[in-house]
Amino acid sequence: MRRKASLVLLACAVLCAALAPLLRWYAFPRLARIPANQYQDMVLEARGATLLDYGTMRAKKVSGVTIVQTLKGDVDAAKRIERTAGRPVVVWDSLSYVQGPDGKMVSKVPERYIFDAHSQDPVHATGEMVDGDPVTRQGIEFKWPFLTQKRDYEYFDAQTRTTNPIHYKGTRTFRGLKVYYFEQAIPWTKVPMPKTMPIQGITPESVANTGTTRWYSTVRRFWVEPVTGAPVYGEELHKEELRGGTLLGGRDRVTAFAGDVKMREDYIEHTVALVKHNRTLVLMLTSYVPWGSLTAGALLLALSLCLEARARRPQDPAPTEPAEPEPVSA
Amino acid sequence: MRALIAAATGLALAFALVLAMTAMGTPTGRTSPKPLLTTVPSHP
């Protein structure tokens, strides 16, 4: 009976011990993926921003500018691209919609971002674009890979359509979460006019005909939770100028937008709660279950060996009763 | 010999379990019917 039990325990020990590496290195890359059907919105605000009044073509201080950013996964497009890419793909359609204090549209920039669902590596396919312009992204955008490392990453900037390093600047604590802080500075760069302009009748082509060009610089900061790779907070010191041409009435340059863009408080709370929940799920696959099953495997093996040793121990001799004396015949 | 068979059974079960889990994979679902927003939502 003991030998049977020890064999069962041995099988369980091997099961548990084998689960640890299988979960970490086989199951984790296949199960920890961005869902193809993700839908997420984010609201950012720039209080006390400077905004161009297209009526007078002069910059003015406004109470605030709001940026609504939506990400929406296109499941059918992801499945179609997966067939040729040979790996799990996520296709995000995003819209950055900027609204002035009067509720009117300032700009809207759509994007299509295609990437590997686990590694976050960009995948190139037809339809990848920023504001209708085909692009070939390098590096990451919006989100870092799972198990983010303490190093610089390449980050795609949608305005300039270029990829530049985003630097790891240290580990911080943000609302009880350990986060990695990243920073990227984009120097003044000439960028295309948005396809959708805030004034009807004005098109990027008509502005281009005046000789006026649009310039942009930014410093973006992200606080990234390293297990999930999700930014829990972000800020951007964003500046845009129109330069030269006849549109500015002889002026050299005019500010089109300047502001410190920050996530709205309720969205920070929501994001932190979501990331805390997802972090636990990822840690289950990378840490909790592998280490737990490895420990259970070791304990079960020890128990199995113990039982086996007891089963093999020679039995104690049965107490012998004193032989009854034989009757002695004289 | 019996110990070897027990260990092999445990190993096979571990592989079967993990392969079944990954074969099920993550559900892809459907594209959300919600639009890309052009108004400011009042809450997340």
Distance from the A328 Cα atom to the nearest Cα atom in chain B, whole angstroms: 55
> In a mutagenesis test of the A interface, which of B4, B13, B17, B18 is the best target, namely the one with the most A β-carbons within 10 Å?
B18
In tens digits, what is the pLDDT along chain A, a chain of 330 residues? 778 899 999 999 999 999 999 999 999 999 999 999 999 999 999 999 999 988 888 999 999 999 999 999 999 999 999 999 999 999 999 999 999 999 999 999 999 999 999 999 999 999 999 999 999 999 999 999 999 999 999 999 999 999 999 999 999 999 999 999 999 999 999 999 999 988 888 888 888 899 999 999 999 999 999 999 999 999 999 999 999 988 888 899 999 999 999 999 999 999 999 999 999 999 999 999 999 999 999 999 999 999 988 888 776 555 555 556 666 654
pLDDT band at B22 (very low <50, low <70, confident <90, very high): very high
Strand segments (E) across chain A: 39-47, 50-53, 58-61, 64-73, 89-99, 105-116, 129-130, 133-134, 153-157, 162-174, 177-191, 213-225, 230-243, 253-263
Q: Put residue A169 in one of left, alpha, beta given phi > 0 → left and psi -120 to 50 → alpha.
A: alpha
- Cα A11 to the center of its chain, rounded Å: 39
Whether B14 and A68 lie within 8 Å, measured CB to CB = no
Whether B26 and A35 lie within 8 Å, measured CB to CB = yes
In which residue are the tokens 């010999």 written? B1
pLDDT of residue A275: 97
Name the DSSP class of A328: P
Which of A324, A269, A234 minimizes the C-alpha distance to A44? Answer: A234
pLDDT of residue A324: 62
What distance in Å separates the CA atoms of residue A225 and residue A180, rounded to the nearest whole number? 6
Which of A149, A148, A119, A114 minimizes the C-alpha distance to A29? Answer: A119
pLDDT of residue A208: 86
Contact A10, B3 (CB under 8 A): yes
What distance in Å separates the CA atoms of residue A164 and residue A138, rounded to the nearest whole number? 9
pLDDT of residue A308: 87
pLDDT of residue A248: 86
Whether B21 and A39 lie within 8 Å, measured CB to CB = no
> Could you tell me the pTM of the whole model?
0.90
Nearest 5°: phi and psi at A288?
A: -55, -55
The residue of chain B with its CA nearest to that of A33 is: B26
- This model of the complex carries an ipTM of 0.92
pLDDT of residue A51: 95
Q: Which residues from chain B sit within 8 angstroms of residue A43, using beta carbons?
A: 40-41, 44
What are B's interface residues with A at a Cβ cutoff of 8 A?
Answer: 2-3, 6-7, 9-11, 13-15, 17-18, 21-22, 25-32, 34-41, 43-44
Q: Which residues from chain A sit within 8 angstroms of residue B40, using beta carbons?
A: 43, 66, 68, 99
